[in-house]
Every structure is written in structure tokens, then in C-alpha cells.
A and B are shown apart, each in its own frame.
Chain A
């Protein structure tokens, strides 16, 4: 009886930590990991300053820097350290790395330059990488740039429509490729195209 009560209490009062997982949507199917796909052979990007905004305006920090790599399924889910018990109004994150971090020297963890997201011949993080083959042509988009007029980090705000423990941030890949590749299929340094492409990509994220 006592055991039953404890179980009852813990199940009714304990909320699980929230998960935010990232998914790439290709032709209505959701790919969690990109393996040997020709269309998308590489998809990696930085998510930084990930926060929840609760209904009463409180900001709850979830993660400072996170590297999403669609070749590593473990990288796709970010978990809150403890459950946020208030109603969540929106999810906020930056797509990319802020300017201050870009000019502050070497960092470890996901920011270590061995992660393949840092340029060598000029300073700066690559915020977003997508590579593949579309209509028999290779495309390679490495988007970054931390200083004006090529600052490419983007703020993303996703309104939460229904409360859940599992938020799925989704990126529609076909739309992105169709929009960006005709503009330029090779971008590998900071430029105005990199900035406008970053803006486009940020606008495509949605909660599924």
C-alpha cells in the first residue's frame, strides 16, 4: 500500500526532462541520420544559446553550444538538465556561433577546430555545412562569417503550439536545396550570399 502511494506520488509529480531533437525532413520522411544519401552527404550545424521561454516570460537556458551532425545520431538530441514545469511558449536558439566566441581564441568540446567547423586560412567558425549532389551536380555550402557585413549567425524563435516532453525541430531539406543551390552551389567563405542563405535556412526550421 505504501509502495503504491509512493509510486502514485512520484508518477504524478515527477515530470521528465524535456528533449529537443533535430530532424532533417526529406520528401515527407524524416531522416534522423544521413548515411549514404547522394542528395545530402553532409549536414552539420551549430545550435547555440538554446533556451525555452515560458508563458510568463522566464528564460530557461538549455544549452550553450551544440554541434548537430546528421552522421552522429547521438548529437541530434539535447536534453534539459531538469524538467521545466511551466508552460513553454517558445524555443529560442542561434543558428551558428556568436561574434565574441569567434574572436576569443581556441576552445574545446564542440568548438574544438578538429570538429571540422573552423576555417584555417582565415579565422571564423563555419555555422552551417550542407553538401551533396543534386541533378548530377555537386553542391557545397559552408556558411559562416562573424563580422559586418558578412555576419551570418541567425536567431531562430519557434512558437510552441502544444506542450510535450519531446520537441522535434525539423529542417525541410528539399525546400532548402531548391531555394539555395540555384543561387550558388559553391559557397566556402563569408559573403553576402552566405548571409542571405543563412537567413533562409533559419526561416525554414519548424516544430513538428
Chain B
């Protein structure tokens, strides 16, 4: 009896500690630079991360409960939507861009392919409001969450009051997304001295450093700045990137430089998803037309033989982070299934 009582106490203590807000230290490898996200304004907390995860996977964020963030940002695709050139949204609509993968967001200085969003907290407003994504608005989303007993109690647990606000919704979504850190690819292991590249991968690494590193800079494999990719404008999309946002001529056709991590999971490539194979991307960058455009823009041209391309791709595949893609911490929360069953 005494033993049982003790066990009960231990269980209660465990449950209590589980419910308590837990400060979480943002962890990243030594070789990564300091994050650009200001964590002092939104300190990580295990309950907030978990609430952000629930919202990320819940279609309640869309007008008709059909689309969640994860519809276009699946964990198994490094939070992109593989095999889909353009994102799919509410009422079977098709967007005008390829949903980008989501990881290492704490280092991004702007968001969306055109860099239109200046802060991770404000990013979710764009898909929530877009008529070809979630088709809703933040006022309505806040009302829906406020009228939902499950979320009311969640907000109470996290904030000590059950009042839902736009700020809280946006900040918990940021919290979950900030935890999507991809830093355990073969490349990372080699850098940490826990493995070796093959001869082919090493050749590819050298080619990468010579030809790609100025935009797709190590160790994040992007500077996350805006640059031209020199692909021709798709006349059905007429996407001029940042120029359409800033209305400045010099920003025309500037798109955010994507990271080269997790390419195996996040095809197709480019802002309009036009290339399904890495070969096609490399063929684009080494084509005669692109070389001319590079020359005109004052860029150093990229020369790669066919065997160089194979070597380079073998290196690029060392940037795939299987542990990240299959990490249970980032997956669909089972609790949400219980909530839906209960409704």
C-alpha cells in the first residue's frame, strides 16, 4: 500500500512537472552563426512550442477547415510539398509559388520567395489571408480559437488566461517553427569529425565551394538574401519576385536564395517548381543563356563538366538530414486526432 502511494506521488509529480511551463534553450551547432530571430521578445517555452505545433497541423486556421500549414509543409518533405510545383489551397485553388521547405528559420532575415515578410512572427498572416491558401483572416481565426473549448484551455495553460489574441497565435506558431532546426546531415557529421566524405563527395564539395558558396553559403547553405536566379519569367505566372513588393526596378526578379539542405525531400526546385531534378537545375546554371546573363550581371560564370555535375550532386545529397525529416517532435500531434474525434 505504502509502495503504491509512493508510486502515485511520483506519477503526480511527473504529471505536474509536465504541465508546468518549461523554458527551452534554443540549441544549434557551434558552426552556425548567431540567429537573427530575437528570442528575448518571444522566449521559447515547451507549452508554447506544443501549442504552436497543434495550430500548425490544424486546418482550423483556414476558412472552411480544409487547409492547415502542414498541407503544403509536410514534415516528411522537410516541410515543403514534394511533387507539387505550385502550392494548393482552399477550394482546390492553385497558388503561384512552390511551397518552400521550413527549417533553420531562426536565421532567415525575410520570408516568402519574394522576401515580402520581414519577420517570422508576421509570416503566418500571409497564408491565412491568401485566397489561394487558407482564405481566412486573423480576426476570424482568433474568434474560432476563442470559441473552441480545446484551444481555450490550451491558451489558459500557456498564458494563464484563456483570451486568444493575434499576437499569441502568431508567436506560438513562430515558437514551433523555430524548433525546426536541421543540423545533422552527413555534412554536419563530417564537419564535427564524426565521419568522412567519399572521394566523390569530396570532389563535389570542392566544386560547391568554388561555384555555389557565394549565394548558398555554408553552413546554412544560403545567405538568405535576395538574388536573381536567371530563369526566364513564366508567362502564365508573371512573377517578378521582390520587384512587385518594393516597386523598385532594381529589385525586379529578385527571389530569396533557398538553402541546399534537404534537397532530396523538397523537390521540385525554384520558386515556380519548374525543375524536378537537380540535373535540370545544374543544366540551367551552366547553360549558354545563363552564362550570358551571368556575364551581363557581373557574376562569375559556372563551368561544370558532366562528371563534375555527378560529383556535385553526390555532395549535395550529403546535406540531406534524415533525422530532421523523421523527427517525432515535429510530427503531427496525436492529441489533435483525439480532439477531432471528440468533436
Contacts and interface: CB of A to CB of B under 8 A. Distances in A.
A45 B202 CA distance: 59
Given A114-B138, A114-B139, A114-B166, A123 B128 contact: no
A35 B129 CA distance: 27
Interface in A74-113: 102-108, 111-113
Contacts of A104: 38, 41, 119
B43 to A, nearest CB: 13
A106 B118 contact: no
B281 interface: no
A120 interface: yes
Interface in B119-147: 119-122, 125-126, 128-130, 137-139, 142
A102 B117 CA distance: 11
A123 B118 CA distance: 6
Contacts of B116: 121-123
B117 A113 contact: no
Nearest to B167: A108
B247 A103 contact: no
A113 B138 CA distance: 7
A114 B164 CA distance: 11
A149 B168 CA distance: 32
Contacts of A116: 139
A170 interface: no
A89 B116 CA distance: 42
Tell me the dominant secondary structure on chain B's binding face: helix
A122 B166 contact: no
A174 to B, nearest CB: 31
B63 interface: no
A118 interface: yes
B126 A120 contact: yes
A191 interface: yes
Contact of B129 (A111, A120, A190): A120
For A103, A113, A190, the residue with the greatest tally of chain B CB atoms inside 10 Å of its CB is: A113
Contacts of B171: 105-106
Contacts of B129: 120-121
A70 to B, nearest CB: 19
Contacts of B60: none
A122 B116 CA distance: 5
Nearest to B125: A120
A118 B125 contact: yes
A93 B174 CA distance: 32
A114 B142 contact: yes
A115 to B, nearest CB: 8
Interface in B1-55: 38, 41-42
B94 interface: no
A108 B163 CA distance: 12
A21 B137 CA distance: 31
Contacts, number: 72
Contacts of B167: 106-108, 111-113
Assign chain B's interface to a size class: 20 to 34
A208 B341 CA distance: 61
B49 to A, nearest CB: 16
Interface string A110-149: 0111101010111110000000000000000000000001
Contacts of B212: none
Nearest to B42: A105
Nearest to A103: B118
A105 to B, nearest CB: 4
B170 interface: yes
Contacts of A120: 125-126, 128-130, 137-138
B119 A123 contact: yes
Interface in B80-139: 116-122, 125-126, 128-130, 137-139
Interface in A154-208: 190-191
A23 B118 CA distance: 34
B153 interface: no
Nearest to A109: B167
B42 A113 contact: no
Contact of B41 (A105, A114, A118, A149): A105
A111 to B, nearest CB: 8
A112 B165 contact: yes
B117 A122 contact: yes
B245 interface: yes
Nearest to B168: A108
B165 A108 contact: yes
Nearest to A111: B167
Given A113-B125, A123-B119, 6 more contacts: A104-B41, A105-B119, A108-B165, A114-B166, A120-B129, A121-B116
Interface of A: 102-108, 111-114, 116, 118, 120-124, 149-150, 190-191
Cβ-closest 4 pairs across A and B:
A120-B129, A105-B121, A106-B121, A114-B166
19 contacts: A104-B119, A105-B122, A105-B170, A105-B171, A106-B121, A106-B171, A108-B165, A108-B167, A108-B168, A113-B138, A114-B142, A120-B125, A120-B138, A121-B116, A121-B129, A121-B130, A123-B116, A123-B118, A190-B247
